[in-house]
Amino acid sequence: IALELQQKEEFELQQNQDLEQQQKRDLEIQKKDIENKQLAEQKSQQQKLHKLERKLAVQIASSNLQGHNGTTPGVVPGESGKTPIVPESSTTEEAREDGSMIIPCQARGMPVKHNFRTAYFIVHSDTKHGEELICSYPECRSAG
């Protein structure tokens, strides 16, 4: 009887150890799944950010090509050697569909060419009235 009890205890002990090992494996699998999901989310966010940056660049290039009356401007003195950037038409349409607007910064003392090329505000469709906007141009931001 003592031998049977000892064998039964050893069997139960082995079952408990097997169960613990299975639980550890399950936890490791869950950890890996969570890590993979986090990596996928980060990659997705990076792709979205890259797409937004591309749209922004296209919008800026598009605004650089248009004069005050909406037509392509003539040659500006000092800019004759520069080649204009021509945005892709499909990308320009996508940039307009996202609901955001790019507004040039017109701070006093800001050189005019910076107003359209590097100094701008991005106003997203969900921006609240009165919300603080931050200029993209570092010198403008530091000047307040």
Q: Which residue has the higher pLDDT, 73 or 132?
A: 132
Higher pLDDT, 110 or 53: 53
**What pLDDT is recorded for position 12?**
94
When mean pLDDT is compared across 4-18, 35-49, 59-73, the lowest value belongs to 59-73
Is the model more confident about 24 or about 49?
A: 24
Mean pLDDT of 84-103: 47
The mean pLDDT of the chain is 72
- Residue 91 has a pLDDT of 32
pLDDT higher than threshold 80 for residue 76: no
Average pLDDT over residues 69-81: 40
The β-bridge partners of 119 are none
- Amino acid of residue 96: R
Buried b (16+ CB within 10 A) or exposed e, 1-33: eeeeeeeeeeeeeeeeeeeeeeeeeeeeeeeee
Q: Does the pLDDT at position 107 exceed 70?
A: yes
Strand partners, 123: 101
Averaged pLDDT, 38-54: 88
Domain limits, the chain: 1-68+87-98, 99-144
Average pLDDT of the segment spanning 133-140: 78
